[in-house]
Amino acid sequence: MIDNLPRIKRLLFIDDNDSDDLIKDITELTEQRLKTLAGLTKVPDDLNYIIIEVSIKRFNRLKNEGMSSYSQEGESITFNDDDFAEFSKEINRLADSNSKPSVIKFVDAYHR
């Protein structure tokens, strides 16, 4: 597993260590979800950007999780229901390449 913490902190302009444990938790949960969606045991390094980008989305949404719409005095906030939606092509490609073909074997019980 790649250590995403330094990069995520740079992208979020975080200089202290106060949020490190929280970011690590978010990153771990994001990676677990991606592995489940794609049917993987390990996320390939070239798709690590998905973990980083989704983790940043989730961090920025803290205390507003599940919000689908908010409007007040001209300000409007809406969150996507699926953080991984914009990466669906990559995830589907990965899932397809990792799926094992089904095999059916028939046994003739009367064969001598």
In a domain, 104, yes or no: no
- How does pLDDT run across 8-37, given as a tens digit for each residue? 999 999 999 999 999 999 999 999 999 998
What's the token pair of residue 50?
A: 């998905």
Specify burial of residue 94 (Cβ count, 10 A radius: 0-12, 13-18, 19+): buried
Domain count, the chain: 1
- Residue 60 burial (CB count, 10 A): 10
**Chain centroid to CA 38: how far?**
10
Stated pTM of the model: 0.71
In a domain, 54, yes or no: yes
Residue 65: which H helix or E strand, with range?
Answer: none
- How does pLDDT run across 45-100, given as a tens digit for each residue? 989 999 999 999 999 888 665 555 666 777 665 555 588 888 888 888 877 777 66
In a domain, 76, yes or no: yes
What's the token pair of residue 27?
A: 């990153």
Tell me the residue range of the domain where 85 lies.
Answer: 5-98
Q: Check the CA dihedral 16-19-23-25 and report its sign.
A: positive
In a domain, 83, yes or no: yes
Residue (of 2, 63, 64, 45) closest to 27 by Cα position: 2
In a domain, 41, yes or no: yes
